[in-house]
Structure 1
Amino acid sequence: MEQLNRNDLKNFSKTCRWFYHMSSKFRFGFVSPEWEVVNDFDFNSNIIASNYRDGVWSNNIFYLVIFSKEKPICWSLNLTKRPITWIRNPITIILESDDSYEPIRYSASAIVEEVIYIFGGENIETKKLSNVFYKLDIKTFNMSKIKVKESSTTPAPRKMHTLNAIDDDRLIMFGGRCLMEGEENMYDTQHFAIYDVKKNIWSYHRESINMPYRRASHSTTVLDERLYIYGGQQINSISKLTEIHDDKDIHLYDIRQVSWHKIITPSPDGSRLSPTLSLPSDWIATDGSKVGRRVDAAMFSMHHRIIILNGMEKDNYDYEQEGRPWELLKSLSLEERNWDHIRVKGLPQMGCVAVVSEYKPDKKGIFVIGKVHDDDKLIMGWIKDSIDI
């Protein structure tokens, strides 16, 4: 079934219920997926809308720490319970006598086992960038600051960066927006650092020819101890304005090989680079649908595919003939090295995060949390196959 294209898989799946379920295990969205909004929740969307990208997924539960000037709250959303409801979990802050609580936003979070790590962001009170480093135990909801060993250096203050757990011992941080020393000007970075959870130290990896360019608000995901990076924003060095990044390729860091690689996206006609063209050994050519350039897109893995979903797209004008380009879910088969577009009917345009989960027994879909661009409204919902045999 892995060798069948989407149309063949669709026809094959309609023959009987068993084939439908088998087909869905190999490829999602082969039967016209649709968007289904979830309205049965009561939550102040104005609070969560600017922080949704700071949340983490663990065992079908979404955890989101909201910092206020007084104290933080951890909201959780359990996808296995109906109705889907936000749960308010008060946090107890445990600080040393010489330390103080710092409220932040635009931070980055990752979870290892039952501990959420939160790094950096913008101080809500002073509006200054921060490199505060928190950890939150989701069993007790006790939060404390992490002070790294004296032999280690904490990364510079930043916001709109990413933090990912690469395994049970290490976190990877990439990019973000920093402030030039002694100036008021912001700049986007390509800083790449690894935090060892057990040793409590940061290590830094210097510039490489295959490292992603400087960026902020990019998208990342981890699969098989590989970090994938796509899209984001950049500050134009001339106009000083923020714009969607021009890099449409995927960059990956292999933690085992300690090396960077680049996945080259297809040319406008959908073909791979000419076979007569000699590519570096650490570049991977792909073909299929055009990928485009996006910011605030969800990025995750499903059926050994890398999925890019929604966000703001720089190349909308190239898709006028297709209409509603944000409905296109972009899927990369890592085995076939081929990009595919799957249209999600009714999907609103938004920046978002997403996770693969069951919306009912033995029925998997994609759960999405995001912010609608035109009215700053929080929205949640499922992407499901429209035909349910």
Structure 2
Amino acid sequence: MLEDSRLLRLPTETLYIIMEQLNINDRKNLSQTCRLLYRMTTKFRFGFVSPEWEAVNVGITNSNIIASNYRDGVWSNNIFYLVIFFKDQPICWSLNLDARPITWTRTIIVLESPDSYEPVRYCAAAVITNSMYIFGGENIETEELSNVLYKLDMTSFKMVKIESSATTAPRKMHSLNAINSGRLVMFGGRCLMNGEMYDTQHFAIYDINNRCWSNIKSNNIPYRRASHSTIVLDEKLYIYGGQQINSSSASTETQIHDDKDIHLYDVRQENWNKIIAPYPDGSRLSPTLTLPSDWIKTDGSKVGRRVHAAIFSMSQRIIILGGKERDNFRYENETNEGRPWELLKSLSLEERNWDHIRIKGLPQMGCVAVVGEYKSETKGIFVVGKVHNDDDLIMGWIKDSIDI
């Protein structure tokens, strides 16, 4: 195809509409015709043409405390909220991506009942409207596991401890997500029984109006895990990665989970499905192989097995970014360029295809991330995280180095 063809004279918006009608192979063929269409198809697939890392240095005291607890935070309306439970009083740190320059704000939380206050870490949080719900964790004084449930008013910063008519087991390193305007969903985490730690596949739903937990039983529930990554899209909970204890002994080391697939729970249908990752060579499972009806085949690039990875949505795709890989990223060394942790993994739910794009200069770190406005009318990905076994806070933008 020539650079001056009639196709290239069409408006950019029209070209994107045309791309929506093409399958993945046709888009790849189109991208090989000229540089402009290559850039446009790349932009269509990932939201970026050539992404690169730009660090953001925000001066803050107690940055090591924030770095150690960053996975306890939650994004809401372009603001990252992180509650730190100190011995005597909780503090809420917030990071507003709409402010320029981006700065951390420290707010003292007012406790409705100071006598019932329980300081925890390794908890999980979710937001419904203007309220943040924080569940579980490890008591920072006694190091015992907790099943405390707090509700924080994000307007007044008043916090109340919620007493439930039915509750669930104490735990840490679990996940908590809002699935609609009235319910929270909790999965997995690390529990204690008879003095021994174990990772669980426990799945429960909390009704905020009835103040009651419901334990959900299922035969095809995901494997037990802790420190996994979750996202809710269209009332579907997606679970990826995590880690598990090798044995029941509290002194044994943990390992990153072998599971490279994604599990999803459909809230409306009340059932689980498994999105099967491609083989290491990127091929789809054999079409002659009979799979359970709740398994979904995918093809494309390898996914890998990570813990502390960010998971979020962008351009109608599920994105997996950062984290620590089970085999120290040897499993994901898909190119001869090295630095496989720079690869952003992208799953198209419609095409059931995995793809990846390299983010130049991305640090090797565990992280959480959100799509935000890098600059006026230009989207980027903002990342908060830390290097494993290090207390340095890392923040920055994933931005596009090429405009089209």
Deviation at 1:216, TM superposition (A): 0.2
- Distance of 1:354 and 1:191 partners within structure 2: 26
Partner Cα separation in structure 2 for residue 14 and residue 44 of structure 1:
46
**Residues 238 and 56 of structure 1: CA distance in aligned 2, closer, same or farther (over 3 Å):** closer
The one of 249, 261, 270 aligned to 1:249: 261
Q: 1:38 aligns with which of 56, 66, 70?
A: 56
Aligned to 1:134: 150
Distance 1:243 1:364 in 2: 35
- Candidates 35, 42, 45, aligned match of 1:27: 45
Work out which of the residue numbers 291, 299, 304 in structure 2 matches 1:287. 299
**1:87: how far off?**
0.6
Distance 1:13 1:226 in 2: 38
**SS at the partner of 1:27?**
helix
Aligned: 1:205 with 2:221: no
Partners of 1:237 and 1:294 lie apart in 2 by 20
TM-score relative to the length of structure 2: 0.89
Secondary structure of 1:47's match? helix
SS of corresponding position for 2:172: coil
* CA shift digits 1:81-111 (9 cap, x unpaired): 1000001111100018xx4211100000000
Hey, what does 2:15 align to over in structure 1?
A: none
For residue 79 of structure 1, what is the aligned residue in structure 2?
A: 97
Q: 1:261: how far off?
A: 0.3
Q: State yes or no: 1:330 paired with 2:345.
A: yes
Q: Which residue of 2 aligns with 1:165?
A: 178
Please say if residues 189 and 214 of structure 1, whose CA atoms lie closer than 8 Å, have aligned partners that are also in contact: yes
- Counterpart AA for 1:61: I
Give me the whole-angstrom Cα distance separating, in 1, the residues matched to 2:31 and 2:154.
41
CA–CA distance in 1 between the matches of 2:131 and 2:341?
A: 34
Separation (CA, whole Å) in 2 of partners of 1:69 and 1:101: 9
Gap regions ≥5 residues in structure 1: none
Residue 329 of structure 1 aligns with an amino acid whose one-letter code is L
Please give the alpha-carbon distance, in whole angstroms, between the structure 1 residues aligned to 2:298 and 2:83. Answer: 38
Structure 2, gaps ≥5 residues long: 1-18
Match of 2:70 among 40, 47, 52: 52
Aligned length: 377
Equivalent pair of 1:226/1:252 in contact (CA under 8 Å): yes
CA distance in 2, matches of 1:130, 1:198: 22
Range that drifts further, 373-382 or 327-336:
373-382
Cα distance, 1:354–1:160 mapped onto 2, change above 3 Å: same
Query: How far apart are 1:36 and its partner, in Å?
Result: 0.5
Pair 1:265 & 2:280 matched: no
- Is 1:351–2:355 an aligned residue pair? no
Tell me, in whole angstroms, the C-alpha distance in 2 between the residues paired with 1:198 and 1:7: 53
Partner of 1:306: 318
Query: Residue 230 of structure 1: which of 240, 245, 248 is its match?
Result: 240
Q: Deviations over 1:118-142 (max 9, x none)?
A: 0000000111111111000001000
The answer to whether the Cα contact below 8 Å between 1:52 and 1:370 also exists between their aligned partners in 2 is yes
Say which SS state the counterpart of residue 263 (structure 2) adopts. Answer: strand
Distance 1:10 1:361 in 2: 31
Query: How far apart in 2 are the matches of 1:218 and 1:310?
Result: 13
State the alpha-carbon separation in 2 of the partners of residues 263 and 161 from structure 1. Answer: 21
**SS state of the match for residue 340, structure 1?**
strand
CA gap 1:384/1:361 in 2 versus in 1, 3 angstroms: same
Give the conservation status (yes or no) of the 8 Å contact 2:304–2:331.
Answer: no
- Whole-Å separation in 1 of the counterparts to 2:201 and 2:32: 42
SS in structure 2 opposite 1:49?
Answer: helix
